[in-house]
Amino acid sequence: MMRNYRNFGSISRRAVMVGGAAAVATRAFGAQGSSALGTPESPVQLRVISDAAYGIAWQASMVPEFNKLYPNIKVTIDPVPYAELLAKIMLDATASQPTYDVIIVDDPWTPQVARTGALLDIRKETAAWTDPGYDWDDFNAAPLEATQWNGVQYGVPLRSNMLLMFVNKTLYKKAGLPEPTPDLTWDQYLEQAPKLVQDTNGDGTIDAWAIDTYFKRDALTPTIWQAILNANGGSLLDKNNKPAFNNEIGVKALKTHIALLKYAPPGGVSHGYSEALQSFRQGQVATSFMWGSVYRNSAVDPKTTTLKPEEVGLQVMPVGSAMAGAHRGIASGTIHAKSPNKQAAWGLLQWFSSKQGEKWHSNALGGFPARKSTLASTPESEWLSPVFKALQQGYDTIEKGKMWRLRHPKSDAVQQVLADAVAAAISGQATAEAALQEAAVKVEKILR
């Protein structure tokens, strides 16, 4: 008792020094006693599995920050390459004694992992340890829904992301075109695109193009098509879980995606995430449909980009016949149902997704928040203000148009089929109609 009390005192002192998050830490601590959250003599060992892309940065800077509040929870984040992450999660999570307490899942993965019974009902089971100020309703619906399945909340959004339109304002100016606004329609966009393929230095060769984005064979390439499909009022499946994309709207969206290739840099057909990012950062393309999270490395950090924040606009993708476009990609934190360290795991996830945690994350690492209050606040860095505005716009659009990948235990198998179809159509190996027809047959078979 004595030891616990002493421990409690030292923590809260440190927490006060850290700042606003003190309340969360002390309350959680005071309510439950410290053994579930570790003691200096026997700290809790928390194992986390995550995409290497942010897992490495989290280990380096998020964990030390977290340990200022919870010094007795030792967090080890194992970074895994994205391509193998889902399979690794499935293999480990289904063990009788799984290695990982905390599993960071990508947007479409919750049903696949939850179906094996591996995930904790995070909202219900952690209620006793949740700070009253945590405020679940503060989350935007879109990011929170990423880890809902069959009415259960399995996770909290940690690193929100969405496909948005990046704009190189300098190239628009050079082409004599007005800067795009969120009201820009696809028709306007495609009408302006030829003018954005230009020779900027007057040496007689084209050196700037209108667009670079996902064109190559990749599981994420269909997300561009899906964003256009959703913006035109289409959807992947109908109410009975039957393919609904094999129609005029789907074909038109795919043809729009294909049309973009005409205004892309040479070799665009083999471009994906890294290549599109590169050409945007080099100032070679006027627009890019890209994950918003790359904003910092594309507009702010002089080590990685040639552009400056004032040159780079960020907004929702062009407006289709129904609404603007976007596409959700949320990395969420979930807890394994068999974890012996559930309270400590929730300590980590609760802090990281709390108002304070989100603020720290966006200011220190440029991570995107999911909470309305964070997005409405004034960020420390000036460049984040317009980004926050675009994000709020994006969330609203996403929620309205249900712009996400399939939420189903077989969603990745479906995504792979769509990737094949879209790639075949973009590379000209099949017509848009034939590619979608074939995909529809396969998707129906998978979902049966």
Partner 1 sequence: MSDDTFGSIAHRASLRSGDRVRVVASIVAALLFLFPVFWMVLTSFKLQKDIFTSPPTFIFTPTLENYVSYLQRSTIPHQMLNTVVVAFASGIISIVAGTMAGYALARLRIRGAGFLGVLILMSRGVPPIALAVPMFLVGRAFGLIDSHIILILAYCTFLIPYVMWLMRGFFKALPKELEESAMLDGCNRFGAFFKIIVPISVPGLLSTLIFCVILAWEELLFAIVLTNRVASTVPVAIVNIAGDTVNGANWGALTAVGTMTVIPVVVFALLVQKWLIQGLADGATKG
Partner 2 sequence: MSSLKAAPVRTWHSRTERLTDFVSRWAFMSPAGLILLAMLAYPILYTFEISFSELDLSTFTATEWVGWDNYAEVLHDTRFWASLKVTGVYLLLSLPLQIVLGFGIAYLVNVEWAGRGVIRALFLIPMVVAPVVAGGVWRMMLDPLYGITNYVLGFVGLGPYDWLGDPWLAMLTVVIIDTWRWTPFVVLIGTAAIMALPRDIFEAAELDGANWWAKLWSITIPLLLPMIAATFIVRWLGAVKMFDIALAATNGGPGASTQVINLFIYEEAFRSLKFAESAAMAVIVLVGTMVLTAIFLRGSRMLEEMH
User: By C-beta, is 94 or 363 nearer to partner 2?
Assistant: 94
CB of 334 to partner 1, least distance (A): 18
CB of 282 to partner 1, least distance (A): 6
**Residues forming a β-bridge with 166:** 288, 314
| Token pair recorded at residue 360 | 């720290």
CB-based contacts of 82, cutoff 8 Å, min separation 6: 51, 52, 53, 106
User: By C-beta, is 51 or 138 nearer to partner 1?
Assistant: 51
- Residues of span 207-266 touching partner 1 by CB under 8 A: 207
| Residue 427 contacts partner 2 per CB under 8 A | yes
Contacts with partner 2, 194-233, as mask; x by CB under 8 A: ----------------------xxxx--------------
Amino acid code (one letter) for 263: Y
Contacts with partner 2, 246-265, as mask; x by CB under 8 A: -------------------x
| Token pair recorded at residue 140 | 């935007």
Q: Could you tell me which of 393, 215, 363, 186 has the C-alpha nearest to residue 292?
A: 393
Provide φ and ψ at 399, rounded to 5°.
-65, -40
Q: Could you tell me which of 270, 369, 88, 202 has the C-alpha nearest to residue 378?
A: 369
- Residues of span 304-343 touching partner 2 by CB under 8 A: none
Q: Could you tell me which of 163, 175, 417, 387 has the C-alpha nearest to residue 291?
A: 163
CB of 226 to partner 1, least distance (A): 18
Q: Is 125 helix (H, G, I), strand (E, B) or coil?
A: helix
- Residues of span 98-137 touching partner 1 by CB under 8 A: 99
Q: Which partner, partner 2, partner 1, none, binds residue 78 by CB below 5 to 8 Å per kind?
A: partner 1
Which residue has tokens 């490395």? 297
CB of 77 to partner 1, least distance (A): 9
| Alpha-carbon span 394 to 317, nearest angstrom | 9
Q: Which partner, partner 2, partner 1, none, binds residue 116 by CB below 5 to 8 Å per kind?
A: partner 2
CB of 94 to partner 2, least distance (A): 5
User: By C-beta, is 73 or 276 nearer to partner 2?
Assistant: 276
Which residue has tokens 């000209």? 428
Contacts with partner 2, 44-73, as mask; x by CB under 8 A: ------------------------------
Q: Which partner, partner 2, partner 1, none, binds residue 217 by CB below 5 to 8 Å per kind?
A: partner 2
Amino acid code (one letter) for 378: T
Q: Which of 45, 82, 379, 400 binds partner 1 (CB under 8 A)?
A: 82
Contacts with partner 2, 82-121, as mask; x by CB under 8 A: -xx-xx--xx--x-----------------x--xxxx---
Q: Could you tell me which of 116, 126, 102, 127 has the C-alpha nearest to residue 149?
A: 116
User: By C-beta, is 303 or 448 nearer to partner 2?
Assistant: 448
| Residue 426 contacts partner 2 per CB under 8 A | yes
| Token pair recorded at residue 150 | 């069959």
User: By C-beta, is 99 or 185 nearer to partner 1?
Assistant: 99
Q: Which of 14, 27, 45, 57 binds partner 1 (CB under 8 A)?
A: 57
- Residues of span 282-311 touching partner 1 by CB under 8 A: 282, 291, 293-294, 297, 303-304, 306
Q: How many CB atoms lie within 10 A of CB 382?
A: 11
CB of 269 to partner 2, least distance (A): 4
CB of 342 to partner 2, least distance (A): 20
User: By C-beta, is 247 or 278 nearer to partner 1?
Assistant: 278
How far is residue 342 from each of residues 102, 132, 435, measured CA to CA in Å? 9, 18, 46
CB-based contacts of 414, cutoff 8 Å, min separation 6: 236, 406, 408, 443, 446, 447
* Contacts within 8 Å (CB) and 24+ apart, 182-191: 182/315, 182/316, 182/319, 182/324, 182/393, 183/319, 184/315, 184/318, 184/319, 185/318, 185/319, 185/320, 186/228, 186/231, 186/256, 186/318, 186/319, 186/320, 188/318, 189/287, 189/318, 190/256, 190/259
CB of 88 to partner 1, least distance (A): 7
| Alpha-carbon span 320 to 232, nearest angstrom | 5
Q: Is 432 helix (H, G, I), strand (E, B) or coil?
A: helix
The contact set with partner 2 (CB under 8 A) reads: 83-84, 86-87, 90-91, 94, 112, 115-118, 216-219, 265-270, 272, 279, 284, 409-410, 412-413, 415-416, 420, 423-424, 426-430, 438
The contact set with partner 1 (CB under 8 A) reads: 49, 51-54, 56-57, 60, 76, 78-84, 87-88, 91, 95, 99, 207, 273-274, 277-279, 282, 291, 293-294, 297, 303-304, 306
